[in-house]
Structure 1
Amino acid sequence: MSLVLCVDGERWRQHLLETVTALPGVVPVAKGNGYGFGIGRLARRCGWLDEQASVTGSRIDMMAVGTYLELHEAAPRFDGDLLVLTPWRPLGAALDVPETLNPRVIHTVSRLADVGDLLGRAPDARFVLEQLTSMRRHGMTRRDLLAAAEVLAESGLSGLAGVAMHLPLNTASHLGEVTRLINDVVATGLPTRTIFVSHLTPVELAGLRTAYPDFTIRPRIGTDLWLGQRAALKVTATVLDVHAIERGETFGYRGRSMPKGGHILVVSGGTAHGIGLEAPTGDQSLRSRAATIARSGMDVAGFVRSPFSIDGKQRLFAEPPHMQASMLFVPSGARVPDVGEDIEVRVRFTATTFDRVDIR
C-alpha cells in the first residue's frame, strides 16, 4: 500500500562501480531528497564505494551535500570529508556546524567579503573558492579571486582546498570555458592545484587532465551516478480501491460528473510524494511546446494524463491527486487491476518522496 522505488541491486551497484572507475577523484553528490534514495542511504553507499577502491582504483574520501542542514544526515553514515555546495554566508545554519564536524566540513565561498569573514570566525576552516561561470548563479570573478589570493597570503592560513566550478547543462562543450577559468586560477597565484567541476563528460575530463597535468581535477557527480542506470530502477504504486462508475455519476472532492463509463482506481501516491507536482524543465524545443499545448487542451476537457501505467498504457487522472493517493480513470473495455496489485509509475526522482526503497 505504498509508493515504492524498486532497485535491481546487482545492476545498480555494478553501474556505481563502473562510474567511479571511469571518473578518478569523483566526489559523489547527495542532496535534496537524495535523488529519491535519501541522503543517509547514499552516504552509506559512498562508504561502500570507498571500500571498493581496490576494484575501482579510486578512493571516495569526500562526498558533497547541498546545504548545511543536510550534514546531520550524511555525517553519521560517511567517515570522509563533507563538501557543502551552498555557499557559506555569515548567517543561519552555516554558523551552527557542530565543533566535532568542523574538521570534516569543507565550505564553499563565493563572495570576496565572505573570505575574510569566514577566516575571522574560524581560522581553521577548510573551504573551496567558487568561480563565476556562464551559469551566473554563484561565484567570484578573476578580480575577486586575485583579491582573495592576497587575503590568504596575508593571513598565512592554509585552509584552501581548491577552486570549484558549477557549469551549465546542455551545451556542446565546456572545454573552452573551463580552460579559461583554470587559466584565471593560475594567473591569480592561488595556492592550490585542485579543481572541482560539474557536468563534464569523461572525454572532457581526460582532455583537461592532459592539458593541465599538474592539476588535480575532481568531478562532482550526482544524477549520472545514482540515476544513470535507469533500467535498474522501477517505481510502483499499490491499487487501494476499485469502483465501477457510469456516465453522469458524480465522484471526487469536487463532485464532478463522469463523462463516460468505466472504473475509478484509487492508488497509492499523491502530492505528499510529489505526484502531480511539476517543475519547469526549460526545454524550448518544438516538441516540448507542442506537448505543453496538448496538455493544456486536456486540462480544459477535464482529462489529465497521470504518471501511472497499467499494462503499458498511461492512464488519466480522474481528478487532481490527493495528498497520499490518486484517483485514476480506466475506460470500459480496458483491464481493471485488482486491489493490492502494483502498477508502474513514471516519476521525476529528484522531486519524489518514496514510502519505501527496496534494493534487491
Structure 2
Amino acid sequence: MSLVLHVDADHWRSGHAKTLARYPGIVPVIKGNGYGFGAGLLCREAQTMGVATIAVGTYVEAPAALAAFGGDVLVMEPYRAPIHADLPDLPHRRLVHTITSSADLGSLRSIEPAARVAVEGLTSMNRFGAPVAALSGLVDAASAEAVTLHLPLGTGHLEEIRRFVDAVPAVRRWFVSHVSPDELATLCSRYPGHEFRPRIGTDLWLAEPTSYEVRAHVLDVRAVAKGDRAGYRQRALPAGHILVVSGGTSHGVAMESPAAATTPRSRAIAVAEGVLEAAHKVRSPFTVSGSSPRFAEPPHMQCSLLVLPVGATPPAVGDTVTVRMRLTTTYPDAVELR
C-alpha cells in the first residue's frame, strides 16, 4: 500500500526559476515536512539553485540541513537558553542563530563566543522578537550580521519595515518574509546600501500546483447492499461499493489545520461541513470516477474506507486515484520525480 507524491520535475523546477527571478537574494525556507516533498530533497534542490543561505524552522531541523546543504543555515526559531544550551551543533560556523534577548545572547556566547547571530525584531505578528526600541542595543551587543523580520501575510509592510531599518541603519543585511516583489524592489531602491533577503517557502516550493499530484492505490473493492456494515464503528452503508484505498491519518489524510473563516461565505462553508460531519456524510479528498466519495468512517492510520454509490464505476484493485491534500500537512510514503 502506498500514497505517493508524483512530481513533474521540469515543470516543478520551472516554478522555482520564476520565483528566483522575482525575488533576488531569496532564502529558501525548508521546514517541517518539507512542504510535502521532504526536507532532504528540498535541501538538494536549494544546493542546485546556487543560493547562499537556507532557513529552517527549528534547531531539530538544523543538523540534517547542514549535512545536505553546503551554504549557511539560518534557524528561525529563536535561541532559548533553557531549551537549546546543550545542543551539539551550536558552534557550527555555517549556522546562523536568531536572538531576541540579551539573556539568550549571553548564554549562546558563553557556549560559543564566535556564534553567528541575526537579531529578530518584534513585528506586528507579535510572535518572536525584540521591540524596535530595544533593537539597537541588542544588535550592538551581538555584533549581529543581520536583522530578521517575520511579517504577517499579505502586503503593505513597507512602513513597518522602515521603522526597524531607521532604528539600526548600520545593519546592512535584512531577512524579511511576506513581502511582494514590488515591495522588495522599493526597499532596495530606498536603501541602496542595504541587502534585503526574502525568506520564501510556500511561494517557492508550491509555485506550480499543476506540477505535482498525490495518488493513492486502490487496495480492495467490493459490492455492498443497503444496510451492510463496515469499519470499526460498524456504520450502515448505502448500496454500492466499498473501497479500501491507501492513505490515512499518518499521511495527513483529513488532518486539516483550523480555517480562518473570516468571511460570511467561509463561515457558511464551515457550518455546512460541520453538519455533514455530524451526519457522517463527510466527503473524502479522494477522486474516484470523477467525484469525491464520502468516508465510510474516519480514516484509519494508513488506509481509508470510502463509499461509492450505485451507478458510479468502481476502480480495480491496483488502480490509483488522486487525493486532494494540503502539502504542508502531507506525509507521502514516497516522492517520485519524473
Q: TM-score, normalised by structure 1?
A: 0.90
Q: Which residue of 2 aligns with 1:38?
A: 38
Give the AA of the match of 2:159.
Answer: G
Q: Which residue of 2 aligns with 1:155?
A: none
Matched, 1:161 2:145: yes
Q: Which residue of 1 aligns with 2:241?
A: 263
Matched, 1:225 2:204: yes
- Residue number among 269, 276, 295 corresponding to 2:273 in the alignment: 295
**1:18-44 C-alpha deviation (Å, 9 max, x unpaired):** 211221111101000000111111111
Give the AA of the match of 2:229.
Answer: T
Q: Which residue of 2 aligns with 1:336?
A: 314
Q: Which residue of 1 aligns with 2:20?
A: 20
Q: TM-score, normalised by structure 2?
A: 0.96
Matched, 1:347 2:332: no
Q: Which residue of 2 aligns with 1:75?
A: 66
Give the AA of the match of 2:236.
Answer: S
Matched, 1:185 2:175: no
Q: How many Å apart are 1:151 and its aligned residue?
A: 2.7
CA contact (8 A) 2:43 2:65 kept: yes
Gaps of at least 5 residues in structure 2 are: none
Q: Which residue of 2 aligns with 1:48?
A: 48
CA contact (8 A) 1:270 1:324 kept: yes
Matched residues, number = 338
Q: What pairs up with 1:1-360 in 2 under 5 angstroms?
A: 1-50=1-50, 60-93=51-84, 95-98=86-89, 102-152=92-142, 158=143, 160-170=144-154, 172-186=155-169, 191-258=170-237, 260-360=238-338
**1:170-223 C-alpha deviation (Å, 9 max, x unpaired):** 4x411221122222222xxxx521110001111110011111111100000000
Gaps of at least 5 residues in structure 1 are: 51-59, 153-157
Q: How many Å apart are 1:299 and its aligned residue?
A: 1.4
Please give the alpha-carbon distance, in whole angstroms, between the structure 2 residues aligned to 1:20 and 1:95.
36
Which secondary structure state, in structure 1, belongs to the residue aligned with residue 92 of structure 2?
coil
Which of structure 1's runs of 4+ aligned residues deviate more than 3 A?
Answer: 91-95
- Percent sequence identity over matched residues? 46
Please give the alpha-carbon distance, in whole angstroms, between the structure 2 residues aligned to 1:106 and 1:82.
6
Please give the alpha-carbon distance, in whole angstroms, between the structure 1 residues aligned to 2:191 and 2:267.
42
Give the AA of the match of 2:25.
Answer: G
- CA RMSD in angstroms comes to 1.4
CA contact (8 A) 1:112 1:145 kept: no
Give the AA of the match of 1:280.
Answer: P
Please give the alpha-carbon distance, in whole angstroms, between the structure 2 residues aligned to 1:222 and 1:232.
16
Q: How many Å apart are 1:96 and its aligned residue?
A: 1.2
